[in-house]
Chains A and B, each alone.
Chain A
Amino acid sequence: MRVKHAVLVAGIGLLAASLPLIAHHSFAAEFDSAKTVTLQGVVTKLDWMNPHIWVYLDSKDDSGAVAHWQCEGAPPNALTRQGWSKDSLKVGDQVTIDGFRAKDGTNTCNARLVKLPNGKSVFAGSAEDGGPNKRPPAQ
Chain B
Amino acid sequence: MSTRSPSFVATAGLVLVLAALYPAGCLAQVPGIPETIAKPANAPTPRTSDGKPDFSGLWQRPYVPDMSKSNRDQSQIGTPDLPFTEVGLKAWKSYDAANGDYTGSCLPFGLMRSMNSPDPIQIMQSPKYVALLYEQNTWFHVIPIGKQHDKEMRPTWFGDSVGHWDGDTFVVDTVNFNGRTRLDTIGHPHSDALHVIERFTRTDATHIAYEVTIDDPKIFAKPWTNKRTFTLRPDWEIMEYSCEENNKDLYEGHIKPPPR
Chain A positions within 8 Å of B, measured between CB atoms, are 18-22, 24-30, 47, 49-52, 54, 70, 72, 75, 77-78, 80-81, 102-104, 106, 108, 128-130
Contacts and interface: CB of A to CB of B under 8 A. Distances in A.
Contact of B253 (A18, A20, A104, A130): A104
B253 A30 contact: no
B137 to A, nearest CB: 7
Nearest to B182: A26
Given A26-B101, A51-B106, A130 B186 contact: yes
B62 interface: yes
A81 B236 contact: yes
A30 B255 CA distance: 5
Given A24-B243, A72-B248, A77 B119 contact: yes
Interface residues of B, number: 38
Find the residue from B96, B104, B242 having the highest chain A CB count within 10 A: B104
B91 interface: no
Contacts of A81: 236
- Interface class of chain B by DSSP: loop
A50 B185 contact: no
A28 B249 CA distance: 12
B247 A51 contact: yes
Q: Which 10 A-B pairs have the closest CB atoms?
A: A25-B104, A29-B101, A20-B63, A49-B246, A26-B97, A28-B97, A29-B97, A20-B118, A51-B243, A26-B101
A130 B32 CA distance: 24
